[in-house]
């Protein structure tokens, strides 16, 4: 676990971010990008993700490319955040609002976490993998646990893929947006279209989401 926070800030909003070590030190990079977008104080708390498809998938699902299926260990990851990370955050920031933040499958996990837990005040869900098997039926049959703020974004070209499963992401994202707009538990819903496809500057897109929540 790593905590990076703005200086001289007491109980700033905290964003929990999963860092994949194979992508380098992304937490510090993300922190610096957010600082260029807003003057509001904030903190980023990171935890390691060593099995992306496993740790972040809410339930088991077949692979959509290659042989790396989704093993559905998201419940264990969420339990770890609730029982280990959040209490440690509270030791440093006793009254802070705590948000989940993620990109791609981590964006899906962040949104799913709001359906499972009352410990989070919202989520930043960027280019989320809402094409995930049975997510559409899950979202229709479950509800957010408490009043929250949510930021969502998607690249304009993300649906333009030859993978017929992933090509559903635009339709699924619009469906999710409509559901949240009708939900009285959503205090603020911010949705943004970005230029480009799925791999167009994930850190900047996530930083934009964090800044948007900070500027509410």
pLDDT digit string (tens) for 127-153?
999 999 999 999 999 999 999 999 999
Taking 80 as the threshold, does the pLDDT of residue 41 lie above it?
A: yes
Taking 90 as the threshold, does the pLDDT of residue 66 lie above it?
A: no
Instruction: Specify whether the CB–CB gap between 54 and 73 falls below 8 A.
Output: yes
- Over residues 178-185, the mean pLDDT reads 97
Instruction: Specify whether the CB–CB gap between 214 and 14 falls below 8 A.
Output: no
Cα 70 off chain centre by: 17
Taking 80 as the threshold, does the pLDDT of residue 188 lie above it?
A: yes
Read off the pLDDT band of 111 (50, 70, 90). very high
% the chain with pLDDT above 90: 90
Q: What is the maximal distance between C-alpha atoms in the chain?
A: 49
Q: What is the 3-state secondary structure (H, E, C) of the chain?
A: CEEEECCCCCCCCEEEEEECHHHCCHHHHHHHHHHCCCCCCCEEEEEECCCHHHHCCCCEECCCCCCCCEECCHHHHHHHHHHHHHHHHHHHCCCCCEEEEEECHHHHHHHHHHHHCCCCCEEEEECCCCCCCCHHHHHHHCCCCCCEEEEEEEECCCCCCCCCCHHHHHHHHHHHHHHHHCCCCEEEEEEEEECCCCCCCHHHHHHHHHHHHHCC
- Over residues 37-61, the mean pLDDT reads 96
pLDDT at 21 (0 to 100) = 83
Taking 80 as the threshold, does the pLDDT of residue 94 lie above it?
A: yes
Q: How many CA atoms lie within 13 A of 6 on its CB side?
A: 19
Taking 80 as the threshold, does the pLDDT of residue 175 lie above it?
A: yes
Read off the pLDDT band of 199 (50, 70, 90). confident
pLDDT at 208 (0 to 100) = 98
Which residues 6+ apart lie within 8 Å of 55 measured at CB?
Answer: 18, 49, 73, 74, 76, 77
Cα 90 to Cα 10: distance, rounded to the nearest angstrom: 12
pLDDT at 100 (0 to 100) = 98
Instruction: Give 21 or 105, the one with higher predicted confidence.
Output: 105
Taking 90 as the threshold, does the pLDDT of residue 186 lie above it?
A: yes
pLDDT at 23 (0 to 100) = 75
Nearest to 154 by CA among 122, 129, 190, 126: 126
Residue appearing with tokens 């409509």 = 178
Taking 80 as the threshold, does the pLDDT of residue 81 lie above it?
A: yes
Mean pLDDT, the chain, as a whole number? 95
Taking 80 as the threshold, does the pLDDT of residue 67 lie above it?
A: no
Range of weakest confidence among 62-66, 151-155, 182-186, 193-197 = 62-66
Instruction: Report the predicted TM-score, pTM, of the whole model to 2 decimal places.
Output: 0.97
Read off the pLDDT band of 65 (50, 70, 90). confident
Residue appearing with tokens 């167009």 = 200
């Amino acid at each position: 676990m790593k905590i990076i926070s703005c200086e001289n800030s007491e109980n700033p909003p905290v964003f929990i971010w999963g860092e994949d070590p194979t992508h380098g030190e992304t937490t510090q990079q993300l922190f610096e990008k957010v600082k260029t977008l807003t003057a509001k104080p904030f903190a980023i708390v990171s935890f390691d993700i060593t099995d992306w498809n496993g740790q972040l998938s809410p339930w088991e699902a077949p692979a959509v490319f290659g042989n790396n299926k989704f093993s559905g260990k998201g419940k264990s990851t969420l339990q770890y955040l609730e029982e280990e990370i959040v209490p440690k955050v509270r030791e440093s920031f006793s009254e802070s609002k705590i948000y989940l933040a993620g990109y791609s499958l981590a964006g899906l996990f962040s949104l799913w976490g709001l359906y499972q837990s009352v410990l989070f005040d919202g989520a930043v869900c960027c280019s989320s993998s809402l094409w995930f098997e049975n997510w559409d039926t899950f979202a229709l049959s479950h509800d957010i646990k408490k009043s929250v703020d949510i930021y969502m974004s998607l690249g304009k070209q993300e649906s333009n893929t030859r993978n017929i499963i992933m090509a559903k992401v635009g339709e699924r994202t619009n469906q999710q947006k409509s559901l949240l707009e009708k939900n009285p538990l959503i205090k603020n819903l911010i949705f943004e279209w970005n230029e480009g496809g799925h791999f167009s500057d994930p850190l900047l897109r996530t930083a934009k989401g964090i800044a948007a929540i900070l500027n509410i």
